[in-house]
C-alpha cells in the first residue's frame, strides 16, 4: 500500500511542481526586469532636462553662482542643434548675457562657445564683444573666444588674431587655438602666419598649422602632415608609447570637459580634420 501511494505521488509530482517552476523561471525574472525598467525610467525622468535656450538664459541672468555656469554649459551644448540655432532671437540675448558676465569666467567661456555655434556670419555686435574679450584676464575664456571668432566666418577677424600669435609671451595653448581659428577663417591674409607656425616649437601648433594650410589649398605643411601620420603609425605599433603620449597631451587640456565630468567645451578634445583628400588625422585644437 505504501508503494502504491509513492507511485501515485510520483505520478502527480511533475504537475504539482509546474506552478512552482513557472514562478521560478518566469514570474521572478519578469518581476526583476520590470523593477529594473521602472528604476531606469524613474532616473531618466529625474535627469531629463527639457528647458529651452531662453530658460537657460534666464538662469544665467538670475540664478546663483552655482547654477549659472551649468546653465551656460548646457546652453552651449544646446546650440549645436540646428533647430535651436534657427531661432534668430537668440543672438542678441546671447551677446547681452556674454557682455554682462565679465566677472564670471566659467559663464563667460561657455557663452563664448554658444555664440560661436551660431550660424555664420555672426552679428556685428557679437564680433565686437568677442574681439574685445581677446584681452580677458582668464586664459580659458580667451581660448573660447578665439574659437568662437574662428567660427564666425568673418575675414576681418584675422587682423586681430595674427598679432596675438606673434606676441613674444604668447601661451602655447593660445597659439594652438589661434592657428586653428586662422585655418577656419576665409581669406589669405593669415597664410604667412600659418607658414611661420609650421616651425613653432610646440608640436600641436605645427600640426594645426599644417592642417590649416591644407584647408586653404596650400601644400607647405605636407612634411608636417607626414610627420603626424608617421607618429600615428608608430603609436599603433607601440600602444604603450601611445598611452604615455596621451598622458602628456592630456596635461594641456583639462578644463571644460572636466567640470561636468569634467564640464565640456571644445576643450581637451582631439578633433579630426580633412583637407584636399589628405588622410584624416587627429587635430588637437585645445
Residue 57 has pLDDT above 80, yes or no: yes
Q: Quote the CA–CA distance of 276 and 57 in Å, as a whole number.
A: 40
The b-or-e profile of 196-223 (16+ CB within 10 A means b, else e) is ebbebebbbbbbbbbbbbbbbebeebee
* Range with the poorest average pLDDT among 6-15, 224-233, 273-282: 273-282
Residue 106 has pLDDT above 90, yes or no: yes
Residue 268 has pLDDT above 50, yes or no: no
If one counts the domains in the chain, the total is: 1
Using DSSP, state whether 265 is helix, strand or coil: coil
Confirm whether 110 is domain-assigned: yes
What local confidence, expressed as pLDDT, does residue 121 receive?
86
Task: Give residue 186's pLDDT band: very low, low, confident or very high (50, 70, 90).
Answer: very high
Confirm whether 93 is domain-assigned: yes
Confirm whether 244 is domain-assigned: no
Residue (of 137, 107, 158) closest to 265 by Cα position: 107
> Residue 147 is part of a domain; what is its CATH number?
1.25.10.10
Q: pLDDT for 142-161, tens place per residue?
A: 999 999 999 999 999 999 99
What local confidence, expressed as pLDDT, does residue 221 receive?
94
**Average pLDDT along the chain:** 78
pTM: 0.68
What local confidence, expressed as pLDDT, does residue 88 receive?
85
Confirm whether 147 is domain-assigned: yes
Confirm whether 248 is domain-assigned: no
Confirm whether 256 is domain-assigned: no
Confirm whether 281 is domain-assigned: no
Residue 112 has pLDDT above 50, yes or no: yes
- The stretch 169-189 carries a mean pLDDT of 95
Helices 172-184 + 139-150 axis angle, to 10: 10
Helices 222-237 + 239-250 axis angle, to 10: 120
Residue 272 has pLDDT above 90, yes or no: no
Structural domain for 112, as ranges: 49-153
Amino acid at each position: 500500500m505504501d508503494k502504491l501511494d509513492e507511485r501515485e505521488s510520483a505520478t502527480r509530482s511533475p504537475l504539482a511542481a509546474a506552478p512552482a517552476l513557472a514562478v521560478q523561471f518566469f514570474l521572478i525574472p519578469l518581476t526583476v526586469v520590470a523593477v529594473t525598467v521602472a528604476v531606469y525610467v524613474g532616473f531618466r525622468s529625474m535627469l531629463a532636462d527639457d528647458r529651452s535656450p531662453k530658460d537657460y538664459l534666464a538662469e544665467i541672468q538670475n540664478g546663483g553662482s552655482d547654477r549659472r555656469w551649468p546653465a551656460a554649459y548646457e546652453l552651449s551644448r544646446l546650440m549645436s542643434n540646428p533647430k535651436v540655432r534657427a531661432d534668430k532671437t537668440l543672438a542678441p540675448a546671447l551677446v547681452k548675457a556674454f557682455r554682462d558676465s565679465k566677472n564670471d569666467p566659467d559663464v563667460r567661456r561657455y557663452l563664448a562657445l554658444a555664440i560661436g555655434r551660431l550660424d555664420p556670419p555672426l552679428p556685428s555686435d557679437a564680433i565686437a564683444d568677442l574681439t574685445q574679450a581677446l584681452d580677458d584676464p582668464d586664459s580659458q575664456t580667451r581660448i573660447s573666444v578665439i574659437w568662437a571668432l574662428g567660427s564666425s566666418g568673418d575675414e576681418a577677424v584675422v587682423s586681430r588674431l595674427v598679432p596675438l600669435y606673434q606676441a613674444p609671451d604668447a601661451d602655447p595653448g593660445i597659439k594652438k587655438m589661434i592657428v586653428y581659428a586662422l585655418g577656419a577663417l576665409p581669406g589669405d591674409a593669415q597664410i604667412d602666419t600659418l607658414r611661420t607656425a609650421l616651425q613653432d616649437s610646440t608640436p600641436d601648433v605645427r600640426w594645426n598649422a599644417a592642417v590649416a594650410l591644407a584647408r586653404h589649398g596650400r601644400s607647405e605643411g605636407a612634411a608636417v602632415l607626414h610627420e603626424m601620420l608617421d607618429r600615428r603609425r608608430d603609436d599603433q605599433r607601440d600602444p604603450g608609447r601611445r598611452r604615455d603620449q596621451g598622458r602628456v597631451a592630456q596635461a594641456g587640456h583639462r578644463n571644460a570637459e572636466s567640470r561636468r565630468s569634467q564640464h565640456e567645451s571644445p576643450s581637451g578634445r582631439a578633433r579630426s580634420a580633412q583637407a584636399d583628400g589628405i588622410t584624416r588625422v587627429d587635430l588637437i585644437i585645445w
